[in-house]
Amino acid sequence: MLTKEIARDIVKETMIRLNRNVNMMDHTGKIIASGDASRLNQIHEGAQYVLETGQPLIIQNPSQWMGALPGINLPVVFQGQIVGVIGITGAPDEIGQVAELVKMITEMMINQAFVETQLEWKQRMKEIVFHELIQPKTNYEGVDQRLNLLQIHLHPPFHVTIVEFGEMTMKSQMLIKTLEDLLDDKKMVTGFLGFNRLFILSFGLAELTIIQNLEKVCAFMKRMGIPLKMGLGSAVEEKEKIWISYEEARIALDMGTQDQDLISYADIETRALLSQIDREFKQKFTSRILGNLSPKALQTLEVFFSCNLNLAKTAKALYVHRNTLIYRLKKIKQDTGYDPQNFEDAVTLQIALWMRQ
């Protein structure tokens, strides 16, 4: 557990506080970090004595110990085992009072490094598991083994959410921790898909609960000044179909508009299906239906449909008089042959608008 990197950090931090040279020896007694670069990789006999006895060693006469200088050497313990020795150079009577404090700080730093390593390992394992789950064909036995190591027990229904962030002002691990605090981390697996995209695999939760939780995330991130968009896939009941919810979440995110923070696949499913039609067929259809309409007429149609064919709401949204709106709708019927106020004709016009987008 005591790596050269951790040893260098310990030496750096303790020397700042003590203003004295500090050596860090590994489990063999070799100096692996020191404020005096000339002492690196030397064997410290005093450290070997500490490793053998488990007792601190005060060195007054360095000639008795090869590779030693006057000072105090203390065992560094991690999880009940001695993993190294820290040596503080100087007159023992001057540094004796701080020696135990240095030992305590050293052991705390090693423990913190271990915790961070464990968190990184778990996070990486979660991301590996998710990437395997979103493959249409994968080794589910291997997935189950990894989930058992993580002590995660998936059960339906499953939903995948993809979160896309704008400018990142928060470190990756802090972002993951924030999401886990805001959401039910016992019912989710989360991790990064790339530089600015993150996945959330929710399990055992109703869709309404998930949406409410995601709305909390949106509100919190807005307060933090972090722009984001979310795409939510629909529920699937089998682990083997999680990849479908992932694809739906990706499509929802890509098809959402700039003013939408959370886009559910269920809300754009019709448009998503239309997007799979051949481009030439779409162009031919939209050109035949909408080809004669002006930009103002197209905007009128879009707002009219977004207001569920409500004349009063549409007129208010467009900042026009009701009679002006009625005139525009009649003109659209005249130019296209389709009446926006007739259900079947409105469906055709709406499909054409979606295909145009």
Under the banding of pLDDT at 50, 70 and 90, the label for residue 151 is confident
Rg of the chain over CA atoms, in angstroms? 32
pLDDT at position 105 is: 81
Once rounded to an integer, what is the mean pLDDT over residues 304-332?
92
**326, 310 contact by CB (below 8 A):** no
> Tokens for 238?
């089998």
> pLDDT tier at 258 (50, 70, 90 boundaries)?
low
User: pLDDT tens digits for 32-87?
Assistant: 998 888 888 888 888 899 999 999 988 887 778 877 788 899 999 888 889 999 98
Residue 152 clears pLDDT 80, i.e. is over it: yes
Q: Domains in the chain and their CATH numbers?
A: 4-117 (3.30.450.40), 154-269 (3.30.70.270), 279-356 (1.10.10.2840)
Q: Which residues contact 95 (CB under 8 A, 6 or more apart)?
A: 18, 20, 71, 72, 88
8-28 pLDDT, tens digit per residue, is: 888 888 888 777 888 899 999
Could you tell me the pLDDT band of residue 160, with boundaries at 50, 70 and 90? very high
Residue the block writes with tokens 């990486």: 124
